[in-house]
């Protein structure tokens, strides 16, 4: 017994030394926030876990290491949903913005030794499993399917001066021109937000609302478009692609449940439909993203794996002629899991693949219909079944190479490509 007590005491002393070392590491870093990095307030982190022999600790992987994770319990939340990122242009600090059932969490992920949970912006009304976040001009814009939620505005520069983390924040503005919304899209080049998935009986049939963000804390209504019905998700771009008929136009690509809608929304008072199209074995048109040359649209159908028994199916459409979209190729994934949100960065497509985690596809030869999986990180190790569990979304755009992942069952993960 005495020996066991001695060993326990030594372990406890080692733990204290370890925590103190992390504290000193944070204080001596260049991230400029040492005064806030009290290890007793910082969220627990698993620490760097390399991907070796197909595993990073408990998580299946290929080519991506685990930098750390924050569980839902740390956020005092029951479930997670969307995730987005923000890099402070003044300090270059990197932040994860994670949607929760009860609000939006803000996490400083700059120092990979200690992630700092800075606080939460509570839901504007009730809790909801659906919440979405985008960023414009150092402000976060947040919508939810909670009744009468509107669109919250939060000034992200406030995260520079959090003195008592985690804080409970108030918003800096609330746009009430919508009630509930499934998602929000922002075109940073034009300064407009586009809430989608609103009430089906509203002025735009649940289609897209146009919201002017020129005054970031006071968004203003600027019209909308609903001729194609309910828009579940969308991307809006300033067009620089191969169809010279639309060079410089602002183009809306809507995933509208049973079709894809392409609309020229340059003139907010007079949106013009360009094309709408479907595809075989359509179950639920969910979300699409352009390749960086804006020639191809990579599209996911959320229910085809369930309804038709496909392996994870990703459709690629050639939009060289926006008036005449053509199915270019179809990629079948390595598992039966359902595909959810996907984003393009260079020659890679980062797919949030629910129970199969994040799958990273090589699209460098997409023109020749060659797509292959080059890596993955599976935050949901209990199986790859076609169910609504595991990874909701992924944000791959940090200059540091960090990738943030939201797991609806577990919380926030930060991963990075293995060196």
**DSSP label of 44:** P
Residue 141 phi/psi, 5° resolution? -120, 125
**CA distance readout (Å), 68 to 48, 119, 251, 401:** 6, 18, 38, 14
**By 3-state DSSP, what share of the chain in percent is helix, strand and coil, each rounded to 5?**
10, 45, 45
Other beta carbons within 10 angstroms of residue 17's beta carbon come to 10
Q: What is the pLDDT of residue 38?
A: 43
Q: What is the pLDDT of residue 191?
A: 98
3-state secondary structure 375-395: EEECCCCCCCCCCCCCEEEEE
Q: What is the fold of 31-417?
A: Methylamine Dehydrogenase; Chain H (2.130.10)
pLDDT at 47: 82
Q: Which residue has the tokens 């809006």?
A: 236
- In sequence order, the β-bridge partners of residue 194 are 185
Tell me the pLDDT of the chain (419 aa) as tens digits. Answer: 333 333 333 333 333 333 333 333 333 333 333 334 443 344 555 589 999 999 999 999 999 999 999 999 999 999 999 999 999 999 999 999 999 999 999 999 999 889 999 999 999 999 999 999 999 999 999 999 999 999 999 999 999 999 999 999 999 999 999 999 999 999 999 999 999 999 999 999 999 999 999 999 999 999 999 999 999 999 999 999 999 999 999 999 999 999 999 999 999 999 999 999 999 999 999 999 999 999 999 999 999 999 999 999 999 999 999 999 999 999 999 999 999 999 999 999 999 999 999 999 999 999 999 999 999 999 999 999 999 999 999 999 999 999 999 999 999 999 999 99
**387: its two tokens:** 């169910």
DSSP string, 23-36: HHHHHTSSSS-GGG
- Which pairing describes strands 272-277 and 285-290: parallel, antiparallel, or unpaired? unpaired
Half-sphere exposure of 324 (CA within 13 A, CB side): 5
Cα separation of 258 and 131, whole Å? 22
Q: What is the pLDDT of residue 178?
A: 98
What is the model's pLDDT at position 43?
Answer: 52
Name, in order, each residue with C-beta under 8 angstroms of 40's C-beta and a sequence gap of 6 or more: none
Q: What are phi and psi of 372, to 5 degrees?
A: -145, 155
Report whether 207 contacts 224 (CB < 8 A): yes
Taking the domains of the chain in order of start, what are their residue ranges? Answer: 31-417
């Amino acid at each position: 017994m005495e020996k066991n007590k001695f060993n326990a005491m030594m372990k406890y002393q080692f733990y204290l030394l370890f925590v103190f070392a992390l504290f000193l590491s944070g204080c001596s870093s260049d991230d400029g926030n040492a005064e806030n990095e009290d290890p007793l307030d910082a969220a627990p982190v698993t620490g760097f876990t390399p991907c070796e022999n197909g595993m990073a600790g408990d998580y299946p992987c290929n080519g991506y290491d685990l930098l750390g994770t924050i569980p839902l319990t740390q956020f005092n939340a029951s479930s997670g949903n969307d995730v987005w990122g923000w890099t402070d242009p003044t300090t270059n600090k990197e932040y994860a913005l994670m949607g929760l059932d009860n609000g939006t969490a803000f996490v400083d992920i700059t120092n990979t030794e200690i992630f700092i949970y800075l606080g939460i912006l509570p839901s504007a009304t009730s809790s909801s499993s659906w919440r979405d976040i985008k960023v414009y001009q150092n402000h976060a814009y947040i919508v939810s399917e909670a009744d009468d939620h509107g669109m919250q505005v939060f000034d992200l520069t406030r995260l520079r001066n959090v003195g008592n983390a985690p804080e409970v924040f108030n918003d800096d503005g609330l746009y009430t021109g919508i009630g509930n919304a499934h998602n929000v899209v922002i075109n940073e080049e034009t300064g407009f937000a586009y809430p989608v998935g609103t009430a089906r009986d509203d002025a735009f049939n649940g289609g897209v609302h146009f919201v002017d963000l020129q005054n970031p804390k006071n968004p203003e209504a600027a019209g909308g478009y609903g001729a194609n019905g309910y828009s579940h998700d969308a991307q809006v771009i300033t067009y620089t692609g191969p169809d010279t008929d639309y060079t410089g136009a602002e183009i809306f690509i809507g995933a509208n449940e049973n079709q894809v809608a392409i609309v020229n929304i340059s003139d907010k008072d007079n949106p013009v439909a360009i094309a709408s199209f479907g595809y075989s074995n359509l179950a639920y048109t969910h979300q699409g993203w352009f390749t960086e040359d804006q020639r191809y649209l990579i599209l996911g159908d959320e229910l085809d794996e369930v309804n038709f028994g496909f392996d994870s199916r990703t459709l690629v459409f050639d939009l060289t002629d926006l008036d005449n979209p053509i199915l270019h190729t179809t990629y079948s994934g390595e598992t039966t899991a359902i595909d959810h949100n996907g984003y393009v960065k260079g020659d890679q497509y980062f797919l949030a693949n629910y129970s199969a985690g994040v799958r990273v596809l090589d699209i460098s030869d997409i023109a020749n219909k060659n797509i292959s999986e080059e890596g993955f990180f599976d935050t949901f190790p209990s199986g790859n079944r076609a169910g609504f569990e595991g990874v909701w979304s992924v944000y791959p755009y940090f200059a540091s190479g960090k990738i943030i992942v939201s797991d609806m069952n577990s919380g926030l993960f930060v991963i990075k490509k293995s060196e």
